[in-house]
Amino acid sequence: MMILFDQGTPVPLRRYLCDHDVETAFERGWSHLRNGTLLDRLEAEGFELLITTDQSLHHQQNLAKRPFSVLVLMSTSWPQIEKQVKKIVDAIERITPSEYVQIQI
C-alpha cells in the first residue's frame, strides 16, 4: 500500500510499516501545501492512505469522493503513539478504500 504521512505524523511510525511504501509530505516537497491541494496531489500520485494528526480534516474537506483512505491519529506524541502501534497497524491492515478512521491514543 502507498502511504503518505502528513505533517505532524511521527516518522518513527514508518519502521512498523515495512510491508508498505511510506513517504512523508516533507520528502515529497508537499509540506507547504494546503489540505485541498495536498489531497489532490495524493490522489494524482496514487497514494492509497493518508496518515495524519489533523483532527479537523474531515470538517474542512469533502473526503467522501476521494479514492484513498484517511487514518487520523488523535495525538502527535510519539511516546503515546508508540504504545498503540499494534492498534494502528491493525487498522491499516483492515482499512478499505475511501474509509475515514480515527485512532484514539
Backbone angles phi and psi of 89, in degrees to 5: -60, -45
Average pLDDT over residues 55-83: 87
Q: What is the pTM of this model?
A: 0.93
State the Cα–Cα distance between residues 44 and 68, nearest whole angstrom: 10
Bridge-based pairing state of the strands 100-103 and 49-52? unpaired
61 close to 41: Cβ distance less than 8 angstroms:
no
What confidence score (pLDDT) does residue 64 get? Answer: 77
Rounded to an integer, the average pLDDT of 83-89 is 97
- Residue 27's alpha-carbon distances to 38, 63, 85, in angstroms, are 13, 23, 22
The yes-or-no verdict on residue 56 having pLDDT over 80 is no
